[in-house]
Amino acid sequence: MTVTITPARLAGAITPPPSKSQAHRVLIAAALAAGESTLTNVAQSQDMEATLRCLTELGAEYRRAGRTLHLTGLDAGAMSPLRRLALPRLDCGESGSTLRFLIPVALAVRGGGIFTGRGRLMERPQKPFFDLFAEKGIFYGQKEGVLTIRGLLSPGEYRLPGDVSSQFVTGLLCALPLLEGDSAIVLTTELESRNYVDMTLEALAAFGVKAAWRDDRTLDVPGGQVYRAAEAAVEADWSQAGFWYAARGLGNPVEVTGMDPRSTQGDRRIVPYEELLRGGGTVELDVSQCPDLVPALAVHAALRAGEITRIVNAGRLRIKESDRLAAVREELNRLGARVTEGPDSLTVVGVETLSGGTADSHNDHRIAMMAAVAATRCAAPVTLTGAESVRKSYPDFWEDYARLGGKLAGV
């Protein structure tokens, strides 16, 4: 889908959609429980549908009423009879969280699975899991975009690098409590995106499962636990809020509502980072704990006229839906910005205004939303290809954008 955005100021109040990160976690916890859980404020985005599709294949059931899900879990446990069934086929769409969270879960409850996906998903690295599987005697094989995992998780020590993705840690945290014995997750390097692990611990606790930090690099996970059905409400998404904060930083009087300042979501850093960008002088932003904020931060930085912004420790963005570092640089520069790219960083020299023109989403929801925010400060319209990519995480983005005064054609 191609949309043309005529420059216009956005104004009004907006509540971002439900947190994708939190929803993945509570859906998985509810699916592993016995009985029916009620989950409110769950968006119908493509990533959520991918997780629900896979959980159904694993043995859960659900019914939806708007943004409320009633999910009946599969009563997972160490001796689950589901392990005797054929390996499930799990279509993860383009959701990296779905894939990495469910690889250990599928091993624990079904003895493995056959995983597929779309876009760049099956190219994204799984080496931390593969190294563990080689050590633990679990079969894995990947051919032509299909990943097959077969075997049983056993209690014990699981050593993982912390600087690749916290998603590997979350997957193990969801699965290891189901084993008969105790386990420990030991991080061999400093953990990035620690807040996402804390969000996982919070979700597990809501469903009666305990795991805890022993120290900065070790998580203790008692075995023999049982997930219990619960009621849970999903918070508004701080990473999506980032685009509306960026719009406000560019002079659009947008009020972001419904956010929890005490949230475990790491992307709540958007508030202090946006405050830094509103100041003068050179600013350096470390995004090791909040890489998803980079497109929003970069578009604000692009219009800090005469000021320099360095966005550092962002190397993990190269393995997202796009090479997101390269895509941010390419698309902002096409619109008239001055952005240079390092191996794990961006340097942005602010300009007075952007020129407009043609931009591409790179099939990446966050690049599409970045271009939409940039259009509010362009001298000419922006024609954006691949605008449908927002459906991955924020299906109502274009409706919300228009409601705030955005001028769109082609939606």
Residue with tokens 């985005």: 45
User: DSSP letter string over 282-306?
Assistant: -EEEE-TT-GGGHHHHHHHHTTSTT
Structure tokens at 366: 């966050």
Query: 54: which 2 tokens?
Result: 């896979």
User: At CA 217, angle to CA 21 and CA 222, rounded to 5?
Assistant: 75
3-class state of residue 382 by DSSP:
strand
Closest C-alpha among 390, 400, 408 to residue 44: 390
Among 75, 292, 360, 400, which one carries the catalytic annotation?
292
- 286 is annotated as an active-site residue: no
- Return the SS3 of 346: strand
| Torsion angles phi and psi, residue 157, rounded to 5 | -100, 135
Pairing of strands 212-215, 218-221: antiparallel
Structural contact between residues 158 and 172, judged by C-beta atoms closer than 8 angstroms: yes
| Host H or E run for residue 325 | helix 324-334
- C-beta atoms surrounding 177 within 10 Å: 26
Angle formed by the axes of helices 294-301 and 238-249, nearest 10°? 0
DSSP state of 271: H
End-to-end CA distance of the chain: 8
Query: Catalytic residue positions?
Result: 292
